[in-house]
Amino acid sequence: MVPLLLVLLLALILFGAGFALKALWWIAVIVLVVWLLGFVVRSADTGGRKGRWYRW
Q: Is residue 35, in this structure, part of any structural domain at all?
A: yes
Domain membership flag for residue 29:
yes
- Classify 17 as helix, strand or coil: helix
Task: Assess contact for 43 and 53: CB atoms under 8 A.
Answer: yes
| Structural domain for 8, as ranges | 1-44
Q: What CA–CA distance (Å, rounded) separates 3 from 36?
A: 49
pLDDT score, position 3? 86
Question: Does residue 7 lie in a domain region?
Answer: yes
**Residue 19 forms part of a structural domain:** yes
- 50 in any annotated domain: no
56 is a domain residue: no
- Please indicate, yes or no, if residue 23 is contained in any of the structural domains: yes
Per-residue pLDDT of the chain (56 residues; tens, 9 = 90+): 888 888 888 888 888 888 888 888 899 999 999 888 887 777 666 555 555 555 55
Whether the CB-CB separation of 45 and 37 falls below 8 Å is answered with no
Q: Could you give the CA distance from residue 56 to residue 46 in angstroms, rounded to a whole number?
A: 17
pTM of the model: 0.57
Number of domains comprising the chain: 1
